[in-house]
Every structure is written in C-alpha cells, then in structure tokens.
Amino acid sequence: MTREIIVYGLGSMGRRIARLALERGYTIAGAIDLDPAKVGQPLRRVLGLPAGQGDTAVSADAAKVLGAARQTVVLQATSSFLAQVAEPIERCLAQGHDVISIAEEMTFPAAACRETAERLDRVAVQNGVRLLGTGVNPGFAMDMLVLALTVPCGRVDHIRVTRTNDLSDFGPTVLTGQGVGLTPDAFRDAVADGRVVGHVGFEQSVALIARHLGWQIERVEETRAPIVSSVARASDHMTIEAGQVAGCLHRMTAFAGGREVLHLEHPQQIRPDLDGQATSDRIVITGDQPIDMVIAPEIGGGAGTAAAAVNAIEYLACAAPGLVHLTDLPINSPRVLTA
C-alpha cells in the first residue's frame, strides 16, 4: 500500500486534500503550487497546521518535485478541464507516479476529448502507472451512487437525478460562472456567449453510467435556465434582489434506443433556503425495482471531493496500469490504515 503522496495544486481543494491525507496517516513527499505566496513555505503552514516533523516546502518546480520522489500517488487539483490538466498529469505519469485527479472532466476524459484521453492512457501504460479521476460531482452524487442503487435492479428503464445545492460558500469566480446576480435577460446572453457554464461534468456522469450499464447513448439535450429569486438573498460573497438570478438550473437528458433513459438536473444557487427550497440529492430509478432515494441535506461537495480523492489511494492498485475509471474499481470507501 502506498503511504507517500505528492499534492499538485494547493488551492482550496488541494489544501483540503492535503489536510485529510495527513489526518489519514499518509506522508506528503512533495507539494507543488505556482502561487508566490505559497512557494518556499512549509506545507503545514500553508495548510494552517502547526509545524510538524518531516514537513516539505511548497515548490513551483514540478519537474524537480516529481523527479525527486519515486512511485508515489500524485493528488492533482488545479483545474476542472482536461485541456488544462492533461500536460501536468502527463508529466507525473512519465515520472512513474500514479495520478488521482479531481478535475471534473478527468472522471471520464474521453467525454471531453477522446484523443487526449487515449494519449494519457498510453503514457500511463508505457510507464506502468495508473490515472484516475474522482470527486463528488461528477464521480459520486450523479453517477457512482446512481450505479450503486442499480444493484438490486433487474432492469433499469429510466434514471432521474436531481442535486439541489447551496453555493453560498463559494466566491465570485464560481458565482459568476453560474450567473448569480444577473437579470434573467443578461443570464440568457451570458449562457449564449459561454460566460455562464453551469455545472461541469454532466457529460462525464452520462458516460460513466452508460458505460457501466452497457447503454449506447445516441444523443443528449442540455439546457441552462436562470433561477430567478422571488426574495432578496445574501451570501458572504454576493447579494441579490428579488427578480435577479440566484443561480443556474442546468439539465442534461440522454437518449438511448430512441427514448429518454437518463435525466440529470442540477440547480445551483445561493441561499435556496430563503426562497423555501431545501437542498438534497435525489435519485429516482424506474424499472422492475422502483427506487426513490433522498439524501437531505445534500452531500457536501468540497469535503466529499477531498475524501473521494484520498479514499481512492488504497484502491488504485486494484487496477491494471493505464487510464482507470471509477466503475472499474471496488467501492472507494475510507479505509483505515493499519500499521
């Protein structure tokens, strides 16, 4: 079992991952980040932890950190998009390290770009290492948990997943990407020109589910609608008036065999409670075993993604070298390390 890891990226999520990995008994052999405020600092200070033995200094020199350590698992947390993480991931693989990435598109990279996914798979195979993408969404709430619920189903006719969450913890970058604070008209313009993206990862959830169930998806439909607030709402980072946009209701529907088989719906907004909306994860499966599951409040995305990444370390070795998908592995539970 691997006990040495490298953390690549020390933004909000990278720091959560690093703190959890230390709590769980892993040794952090290297920490990579480009932020001048962090470079050269002891990692534990950057993590807000008291100084400790065997601490490493944050470095901006990825090649040096990756070259100094041998056969670790790199936990990579820098961006949502395959195009931005492919090069740093490839560098890790080429240096003989396994990689666990929380980039949303990495949970099923071929759904973002088949060529890049194939190249990463090839590099991993050539170097005898493994590459996995994970997280809460995509990676759990709208795909792996859905698949877990199909175990007692003999036939699945349709799946509907709704994740209603609260964006209040997030800062301006995330809120802008969801159109928070816009007028409904401005929201539609921002969707049209790509400033409002909604959720990143529907394609990956559809692909994970379809691959595991053996579904041949023929097409998908996607909509992004403004969640117009009927009341004033305020989070730490943003205040909106009644009639303004509180967030984005992003939906994707997938079709197979000429009919709808999967509907994913993800309303993301600030303070849904102020407008009478409770947060939850809901999964409804129609078939020979009807299942209606609710988790309320919803699974925490930040803590959950850090946990999913750290939990995966113990299971990665189950897979053959190459690009690994979560559906190839046993359930990635938090395994207590024993001496």
Q: Which residues bind its own copies (CB under 8 A)?
A: 20, 23-24, 136, 140-141, 144-145, 147-156, 212-215, 288-289, 291-296, 299-300, 303-308, 310-311, 327-338
Report in angstroms how near the CB of residue 150 gets to its own copies at its nearest: 4
Report in angstroms how near the CB of residue 328 gets to its own copies at its nearest: 6
Report in angstroms how near the CB of residue 239 gets to its own copies at its nearest: 29
Nearest to its own copies of 225, 256 (CB atom): 256
Report in angstroms how near the CB of residue 41 gets to its own copies at its nearest: 24
CB-CB neighbours of 35 under 10 Å:
13
Nearest to its own copies of 272, 301 (CB atom): 301
Nearest to its own copies of 221, 288 (CB atom): 288
Report in angstroms how near the CB of residue 100 gets to its own copies at its nearest: 13
Nearest to its own copies of 240, 307 (CB atom): 307
Nearest to its own copies of 50, 152 (CB atom): 152
Nearest to its own copies of 17, 182 (CB atom): 17
Report in angstroms how near the CB of residue 245 gets to its own copies at its nearest: 28
Nearest to its own copies of 183, 279 (CB atom): 279
Nearest to its own copies of 71, 333 (CB atom): 333
Q: Please state whether 128 falls in left (phi above 0), alpha (psi between -120 and 50) or beta.
A: left
Q: How far is CA 177 from the centre of its chain?
A: 16
Report in angstroms how near the CB of residue 136 gets to its own copies at its nearest: 5
What's the 3-state SS for the chain? Answer: CCCEEEEECCCHHHHHHHHHHHHCCCEEEEEECCCCCCCCCEHHHHCCCCCCCCCCEEECCHHHHHHHCCCCEEEECCCCCHHHHHHHHHHHHHCCCEEEECCHHHHCHHHCCHHHHHHHHHHHHHCCCEEEECCCCCCCCCCHHHHHHCCCCCCEEEEEEEEEEECCCCCHHHHHHCCCCCCHHHHHHHHHCCCCCCCCCHHHHHHHHHHHHCCCCCEEEEEEEEEECCCCEECCCCEECCCCEEEEEEEEEEEECCEEEEEEEEEEECCHHHHCCCCEEEEEEEECCCEEEEECCCCCHHHHHHHHHHHHHHHHCCCCCEEECHHHCCCCCCCCCCC
Report in angstroms how near the CB of residue 195 gets to its own copies at its nearest: 30
